[in-house]
Chains A and B, each alone.
With several copies, the nearest count.
Chain A
Amino acid sequence: MGLGSDMYRQQILDHYKNPRNYGELEDPDFTHVGENPSCGDTIRVDVALDDGGETIDTVRFSGDGCAISMASASMLSERLEGMTIEELHALETDDITEMLGVEISPMRVKCAVLGRQVTQDGAKIHRGELDPDRIEE
């Protein structure tokens, strides 16, 4: 058996079926929506900041997608709380797959990192470091 069964270990299925921090914030500091067109996955992330905008206080995500993208966003949302924006931007693809605790097949990596990408892009747009029209999906 290959990666597939591995990819759907209990933890992933649990986060997919019972996503943590699922929902929206009433008054977020920033909100961003992104999609992975090859899957049709869409994720919205709402973030409230703290510490003069340097630290992430609360995260909510919502959206629709495959188990990998949803579980990854759910697990990420737990990690993000308390992280600095700098730490957010330092998150690499390897950090995400390590967090997921399973090997991700190459065609599914875009699903796995969608939540991270949306959060990073949202933070950059919030700080004026990214033009929303120039996002490469």
Chain B
Amino acid sequence: MGVQEQYPFDVQAVRADFPILDRLVGGDPTTVGQDDSDDTPLVYLDNAATTHTPEPVVDAIANYYRGYNSNVHRGIHQLSQEASVAYERAHDTVADFIGAAGREEIVFTKNTTEALNLVAYAWGLEELGPGDNVVLSEMEHHASLVTWQQIGKKTGADVRFIEVTEDGTLDMADAAEKIDDDTEMVSVVHVSNTLGTVNPIRELADMAHDRDALIFADAAQSVPTRPVDVTDLDVDFLAFSGHKMCGPTGIGALYGREAILDAMSPYLYGGEMIRRVTYEESTWEDLPWKFEAGTPSIAQGIALAAAIEYMDDLGMERVQAHEELLAEYAYDRLTDLGSVEIYGPPGDERGGLVAFNVDGVHAHDLSSILNDYGVAVRAGDHCTQPLHGKLGIAASARASFYVYNTVEEVDALVDAVSDAYDLFA
């Protein structure tokens, strides 16, 4: 039986929702958008960086601007009412999707990075001090690693890193040691964007809570690719970005346990987040608006809800199955080439991405050559420079999959990798 026959949904039908997948590339890279010099079909395998946007989501954006664009919250006129209803409901959609209690627990941010910074500033600067520690993992993305590192420097708190083992998983014995009575926060990536490792967040949450610490799950790579439930994971904070899950750029979400968000001081100040202001003093709005200062990303919030509906229709279990199918297939085929080193756990224990290097070919050269075959992969440090340092490499190439990718596209990747190897051999 071909691998294709195991697809958990109709991948060709999904592809039809994404006009960008029909693009040709290969021509002048300084012309924005397809032009006459483009002649090679696109094989887009850079989904861990950003995913494409299906027509229903593009439509949600256009419908907003063409139909009921307005500022929210305070307006009595009808357009403002409609925009408010849609924008506020988008918070409910996110809450439902990840198993939060309600919109009070969902703060819209620019992206995962801002969500991490929000907690680091609003909670970290207040709560951390010398003697305290924050526990991360060695596979953190810069979004969490640099943020907590710098908040550590500002507050005097120690920042520690749970070690990554040879096989690319977290050393849980080391976790049990690093998380101690002085730990205030454990901030760990759910699915690594470099190794593809799926970390045991619930186990880490239990460890953190046993020590009265909080836990923040960086779910930038997990919420888009599998069912995620904040209650099951028992996390205090969790964050993800819309642009990695069929949504628009410029929107992300922070989940926070209501009691914790409630006790936190605001982060950004301005309109919409206040209750009463005098020249001397201010008081704050209810959750989640207390954390959403200024005119919010209204169209993007509404489009994020549309993206979630799109994903929900596919079904997150099926999305996960599809991711795993392609990851395992790619892992096996790349391994068979003999000339490829893959980082992280085996093919059947990882998220839908594969980071690797080819003998004798620098990752940047590889990516340039693959681009010539229409194959878009990311090459670089994937915002995990320290992890790359630990692996003893400066860069790697990464192929990452999403709901519209096919087995044939993985084949195209593997053929191109093989040709690149030959070119340099």
Q: Say whether A8 faces chain B, with CB atoms less than 8 Å apart.
A: yes
Question: In angstroms, how far is the closest chain B Cβ from the Cβ of A101?
Answer: 16
Question: In angstroms, how far is the closest chain A Cβ from the Cβ of B270?
Answer: 16
**Nearest chain A residue, comparing its CB with the CB of B286:** A136
Residues of A within 8 A of B369 (CB): 4-5, 8
B69-82 contact mask (Cβ, 8 Å, vs A): 1 or 0: 00000111010110
A66–B424 touching, CB < 8 Å = no
A68–B365 touching, CB < 8 Å = yes
Question: In angstroms, how far is the closest chain B Cβ from the Cβ of A132?
Answer: 15
Report the bound CA distance from A2 to B79 in whole Å: 13
Q: Say whether A52 faces chain B, with CB atoms less than 8 Å apart.
A: no
Residues of B within 8 A of A5 (CB): 369, 372
Which residue of B29, B81, B275, B394 is within 8 Å of A137 (Cβ)?
B275
Question: In angstroms, how far is the closest chain B Cβ from the Cβ of A5?
Answer: 5
- With contacts A1-B40, A2-B78, A64-B394 taken as known, whether A111 is within 8 angstroms of B364 at the C-beta atoms is yes
Residues of A within 8 A of B81 (CB): 105-107
Q: Say whether B381 faces chain A, with CB atoms less than 8 Å apart.
A: yes
A7–B275 touching, CB < 8 Å = no
B349-393 contact mask (Cβ, 8 Å, vs A): 1 or 0: 000000000000011110011111100000011000000100000
Residues of A within 8 A of B75 (CB): 107
Report the bound CA distance from A4 to B74 in whole Å: 17
Q: Say whether B25 faces chain A, with CB atoms less than 8 Å apart.
A: yes
Residues of B within 8 A of A82 (CB): none
A1–B372 touching, CB < 8 Å = yes
**Cβ < 8 Å to B, chain A residues 76-117:** 105-108, 111
When A and B form their complex, what is the total count of cross-chain residue pairs whose Cβ atoms lie within 8 Å? Answer: 82
A30-60 contact mask (Cβ, 8 Å, vs B): 1 or 0: 0000000111110000000000000000000
Residues of B within 8 A of A65 (CB): 362
Residues of A within 8 A of B37 (CB): 2
Residues of A within 8 A of B76 (CB): 105, 107-108
A2–B25 touching, CB < 8 Å = yes
Residues of B within 8 A of A136 (CB): 286
B40–A2 touching, CB < 8 Å = yes
B30–A108 touching, CB < 8 Å = no
Q: Say whether A125 faces chain B, with CB atoms less than 8 Å apart.
A: no
- With contacts A105-B76, A107-B81, A137-B275 taken as known, whether A1 is within 8 angstroms of B26 at the C-beta atoms is yes
**Nearest chain B residue, comparing its CB with the CB of A39:** B364
Q: Say whether B85 faces chain A, with CB atoms less than 8 Å apart.
A: yes
Residues of A within 8 A of B363 (CB): 66
Q: Say whether B67 faces chain A, with CB atoms less than 8 Å apart.
A: no
B29–A3 touching, CB < 8 Å = yes
Report the bound CA distance from A75 to B76 in whole Å: 23
Q: Say whether A25 faces chain B, with CB atoms less than 8 Å apart.
A: no
B394–A108 touching, CB < 8 Å = no
B368–A7 touching, CB < 8 Å = yes
B29–A13 touching, CB < 8 Å = no
B362–A4 touching, CB < 8 Å = no
Q: Say whether B276 faces chain A, with CB atoms less than 8 Å apart.
A: yes
B362–A67 touching, CB < 8 Å = yes
B380–A39 touching, CB < 8 Å = yes
Report the bound CA distance from A21 to B85 in whole Å: 36
B364–A66 touching, CB < 8 Å = yes
Give residues in A with beta carbon < 8 Å to B.
1-5, 7-8, 13, 16-17, 37-41, 64-68, 105-108, 111, 136-137
20 A-B pairs with CB atoms under 8 Å apart are: A1-B26, A2-B25, A2-B78, A2-B371, A4-B372, A7-B368, A17-B424, A39-B364, A40-B380, A65-B362, A68-B365, A106-B30, A106-B81, A106-B85, A107-B29, A107-B75, A107-B80, A107-B84, A108-B364, A137-B275
For the complex with contacts A13-B423, A106-B30, 7 further pairs of A-B residues with Cβ separation under 8 Å are: A1-B26, A1-B372, A2-B27, A3-B368, A4-B372, A13-B424, A107-B81
